[in-house]
């Protein structure tokens, strides 16, 4: 293989594809290497919520990237439709967040205050009767709810495929092979080795999701990312679509453009196991029936499972790798990978091209885990 791009990106999920997209818009010659296929893992099976980060009134250290990403998402809907003809099913609707006890109610009201006062998004705490005016099928046993406006969801697979197609139209090449290591010239990374050859490049981006931890020995740096399995049900439910996204705890239900009610999700530390399971199916079904009793007669159209990349503090790993030149990490989106994806791509593209970004990503550096350095080189 004789490809010699400006940038080689390892990973065909939303982080890698978004990075390729924004690099290609700047005229960079890019190659994306993916072992399985574009959007074949979490980016193809996630829920696709583009919601407000944080459930406790604090957005966390991902906030600067999240705000940028929210702005980018709003523009991608039309841009990608025009350039690729793909409808990413970007839809905006209210969110009803439910509470079943007073403690939960106080927690969601705290988050509402941050949503309203910091983000400027209309949100209000309401009684159960007020919430049921918007969706009468909510369980009447809830003690209260918060209704917020302007929450968006989309089809994550369509988003990722559309960005890949747009990048390809700008000259990005996609190679399907297994990456086996890095090409090094002292501390300079000059490319990657493959099961079937190698690729030399001026810059390398590792956007491998939970598999990014496999590069620890290549970089002599601990990359504390683990896979967090999430399972989702897509239900055929009788009656009209739910006019709002329903949220409770860490779970949700929303009617999507495919006519199905998507609901989930589990959080399972089970290693690299992507198979859907019957216990998760029962757990999710029982939860959604509690929130929306009318779904008792629903049938499962599809059950999906994927692995999200999670760090010890739940935040992104973004930026250069210490002690090495010309290599960048772009991963750690956890349950918010689709929401954060365009922001990750734009920030990483800025770093590759300009060496800097206007977004404050210092708190997201892998350096925050410096106590985890691997000694062997």
What are the residues facing 182 on neighbouring strands?
192
Please compute, for residue 286, the number of CA atoms within 13 A of its CA located in the half-sphere on the CB side: 7
CA 377 to CA 374: how far, in whole Å? 8
In which residue are the tokens 């999240």 written? 66
- Could you please report the per-residue DSSP string of 234-280? EEE-SSSPPSSEEEETTEEEEE-TTS-EEEE---B--SS-----HHH
Query: For residue 343, what are its two tokens?
Result: 């922001």
Complete domains list, the chain, with CATH: 7-48+157-224+312-372 (3.50.50.60), 92-150+227-310 (3.30.9.10)
| Nearest Cα to Cα of residue 16 among 315, 333, 232 | 333
* Residue with the two structure tokens 């406790």: 56
Model pTM above 0.85: yes
Q: How far apart are CA 284 and CA 233, in angstroms?
A: 7
Whole-angstrom Cα distance, residue 209 to residue 309? 5
State the pLDDT at residue 1: 60
3-state class (DSSP) for residue 99: strand
| Helix or strand (DSSP H, E) at 123 | strand 123-126
One digit per residue, the tens of pLDDT, for the chain of length 377 reads: 667 999 999 999 999 999 999 999 999 999 999 999 999 999 999 999 887 544 444 557 898 999 899 899 999 999 999 999 999 999 999 999 999 999 999 999 988 887 788 778 899 999 999 999 999 999 999 999 999 988 889 999 999 999 999 999 999 999 999 999 999 999 999 999 999 999 999 999 999 999 999 999 999 999 999 999 999 999 999 999 999 999 998 899 999 999 999 999 999 999 999 999 999 999 999 999 999 999 999 999 999 999 999 999 999 999 999 999 999 999 999 999 999 999 999 999 999 999 999 999 999 999 999 754 433 32
């Amino acid at each position: 293989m004789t490809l010699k791009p400006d940038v080689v990106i390892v990973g065909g999920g939303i982080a890698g594809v978004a990075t390729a997209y924004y690099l290609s818009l700047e005229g960079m010659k890019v190659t994306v290497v993916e072992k399985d296929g574009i959007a074949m893992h979490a980016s193809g099976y996630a829920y696709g919520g583009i919601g407000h980060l944080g459930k406790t009134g604090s957005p966390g250290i991902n906030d600067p990237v999240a705000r940028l990403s929210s702005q980018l998402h709003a523009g991608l809907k039309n841009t990608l439709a025009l350039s690729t003809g793909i409808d990413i099913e970007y839809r905006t609707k209210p969110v009803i967040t439910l509470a079943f006890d007073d403690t939960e109610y106080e927690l969601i009201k705290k988050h509402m205050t941050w949503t309203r006062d910091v983000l400027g998004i209309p949100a209000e705490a309401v009684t159960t009767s007020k919430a049921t005016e918007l969706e009468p099928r909510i369980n009447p046993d809830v003690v209260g709810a918060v209704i917020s406006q302007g929450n968006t969801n989309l089809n994550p697979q369509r988003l990722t495929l559309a960005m890949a197609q747009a990048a390809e139209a700008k000259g990005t090449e996609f190679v399907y092979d297994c990456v086996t290591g890095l090409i090094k010239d002292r501390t300079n990374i000059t490319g990657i080795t493959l099961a079937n050859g190698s690729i030399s490049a001026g810059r390398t981006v590792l956007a491998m999701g939970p598999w990014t931890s496999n590069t620890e020995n290549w970089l002599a740096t601990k990359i504390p990312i683990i896979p967090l399995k999430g399972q989702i049900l897509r239900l055929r439910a009788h009656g009209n679509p739910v006019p709002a996204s329903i949220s409770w705890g860490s779970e949700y239900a929303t009617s999507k453009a495919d006519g199905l009610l998507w609901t989930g999700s589990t959080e399972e530390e089970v290693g690299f196991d992507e198979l859907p399971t019957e216990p998760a199916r029962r757990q999710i079904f029982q939860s959604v029936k509690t929130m929306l009793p009318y779904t008792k007669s629903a049938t499962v159209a599809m059950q999906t499972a994927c692995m999200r990349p999670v760090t010890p503090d739940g935040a992104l790993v973004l930026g250069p790798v210490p002690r090495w030149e010309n290599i960048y990490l772009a991963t750690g989106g956890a349950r918010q990978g689709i929401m954060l994806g365009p922001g990750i791509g734009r920030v990483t593209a800025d770093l590759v091209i300009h060496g800097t970004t206007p977004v404050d990503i210092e708190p997201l550096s892998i350096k925050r885990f410096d106590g985890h350095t691997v000694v062997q080189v």
